Structure 1
Amino acid sequence: MFSLFRKHIDSFNLASVAVDMHSHLIPGIDDGAKDMDNTMELLRKFSELGYQKVITTPHIYWDYYKNTSEIILEGLQKVRERVEQEQLPIQVEAAAEYFFDAHFLDLIDNDEILTFGDKYVLFELPFLVEPYNVDQLIFLLLGKGYKPIMAHFERYLYYHSKTLAMAEDFRRRGVAIQLNLLSLTGHYGESVRHQAELMIEKNLVDFVGTDCHRIEHLEIIKRNLKKKNFSKLSELNLKNNQLL
């Protein structure tokens, strides 16, 4: 019995994901990495875990983090220079995690959006109160030729009573769904973990991300890679490695 059970708890291989597309590694511009040494520590850990590329996504949330494309890209250049100096075996790109607010709508109107891959745009909603005009946002993004990705869908509490139906509806309308690996560890609570597991069970996940802000996040993920809910990720048709 025990030998049969052990066959099912091999660690989930993050090398198969290959690309992390949600993190906060540009130093000193949001609630992620504090300085360049911190950024390098995080990138070394990403490489150790098997990632080949990190597309880091600083917050653009105008009430709190007034980042611009210029600020982010300048930070990226400095990170790349340090990566080259230290000869880290990992690629680094940058986009943004856009909070759904009036400023984001203005950026869409003015074509001032940082994208990655095939014009993907990562955005997040408020966690507690459902916005009334998400449909407008989706319409604007798709109309401009962008491919929206909704960040950490499992964390929006107002969708918890209808997670599967809403995820199916958004995907049908052209919105990809991203799940946080930390959600599977219980880091955000049991309700969020349950929603994440439901989404995996019903194959409603397009991308997974670490949403890494600090080294502890990667260490938590590493400790949980043998859990059953992580092993089920291998059954999904994830798009992360298409970003190489």
Structure 2
Amino acid sequence: MFSIFKKKVFLVDLIDGITDFHNHILPGIDDGAKTVEESIELIEGFKNIGIHDFVATPHVMNDYYPNTSETIKKSYNKLKSNISDSVSLEFSAEYMMDHHFVEIIDNNQILPISGNRVLVEMSYFQQPLNLNEILFKLQNNSYSPILAHPERYSYYHSKKLNKYTEIKSRGCDFQLNMLSLSGHYGTGIQKTAYQLLENNMIDFISSDAHRIDHIEKIKNIQIRKKHLSIIRSIIENNKNLFN
């Protein structure tokens, strides 16, 4: 008796050539790479999975990582001078949506990702009390928010995804973390990641890599056949974002 085995499809088979626009590869300014050497190790790891183009997005989080355009650019320049021209590296930020972020918008200090896109995040404990104000202010200043890793906000988890529908209706695109498709953050987050995929609520995908072991884990993520077309469409969105 013979069995026919279909070739397994891994996420790394699909992401070749995308721009990873959520990562923590800049050295020494947040909880990602601590040194230029660690940054280069991460970049080399990315090359091994077909990614050569980056927008680095260090945290801007007033209480923990009070980065500014100046601190981010300084770290960027330090890394840029130590990598080859074959690597495309730009810089932006991952902004915590808090009262300090409102000041950043008001002072016209946003570092967009591509055109008018802005990567934002929320606390893992509760959504911002002034969330609607922040989203309105962003859009009123001609910015388009991309919410980082929506699957990781457990207070949004539900069978009906009502909270996600509400925030998308306010003009937020969603960026999925690659590692959320594995059990890296826990089974609840993995389950919600697939729920969002299957309901066509994910717009983009990126790594959110902080350490080399994150890239090693990305190598092992398998994609089920029923999710292939969805993932391919999202990857195409990533590519179009930078065309």
Same fold (TM over 0.5): yes
Alignment correspondent of 1:78 = 78
Contact 2:10/2:220 (CA < 8 Å) preserved in 1?
A: no
Relative to structure 1, is the Cα distance of residues 220 and 11 closer, same or farther in structure 2, using a 3 angstrom cutoff? same
State the 1:146 CA deviation. 0.5
Asked if the contact 1:17–1:240 (Cα under 8 Å) also holds between the matched residues in 2, the reply is no
1:41 aligns with 2:41: yes
Whether the 8 Å contact between 1:55 and 1:93 is mirrored in structure 2 is: yes
Q: TM-score, with normalisation over the residues of structure 1?
A: 0.90
Percent of residue pairs identical: 37
Please, what is the CA RMSD of the aligned residues? 1.9
Structure 1 counterpart of 2:69: 69
Answer yes or no: is the 8 Å Cα contact 2:177–2:207 preserved in 1. yes
- The one-letter amino acid paired with 1:241 is K
Per-residue CA deviations over 1:188-220 (Å, capped at 9, x if unaligned) read 100000000011111111111111000000000
1:51 match: 51
Give runs of aligned pairs for residues 161-240 of structure 1, distance below 5 A: 161=158, 164-224=161-221, 226-228=222-224, 231=228, 233-236=231-234, 238-240=236-238
Contact 1:14–1:50 (8 Å) recurs in 2: no
SS in structure 2 of the partner of residue 178 of structure 1: strand
Alignment CA distance shift 1:56-1:14 (3 Å):
farther
Summarize deviations over 1:47-98 as a string: whole Å, max 9, x none: 22111311110001010011111110111112111113xx5x3211110011
What are structure 1's unaligned runs of at least 5 residues?
none
**AA in 2 matched with 1:150:** L
Contact 1:28-1:34 at 8 Å conserved across structures: yes
Task: State the one-letter code of the partner of 2:231.
Answer: L
CA apart distance, 1:240 = 1.1
1:116 lines up with 2:113 in the alignment: yes
Q: 1:60 to 1:236 in 2, by over 3 A?
A: closer
Q: Provide the TM-score with structure 2 as the length reference.
A: 0.91
The range that moved more, 49-58 or 26-35, is 49-58
Query: What is the DSSP-based 3-state SS (H/G/I as helix, E as strand, rest coil) of the residue aligned with 1:83?
Result: coil
Residues in 1 aligned to 2:3 and 2:97: alpha-carbon distance in whole angstroms: 49
Instruction: Please say if 1:137 is aligned against 2:134.
Output: yes
Per-residue CA distance 1:149-200 (angstroms, 9 max, x = gap): 1110000011002663333333333211011111111111000000000111
Moved more, 145-154 or 123-132: 123-132
Aligned length: 238
Checking the alignment, whether the CA contact within 8 Å between 2:14 and 2:232 is kept in structure 1 is no
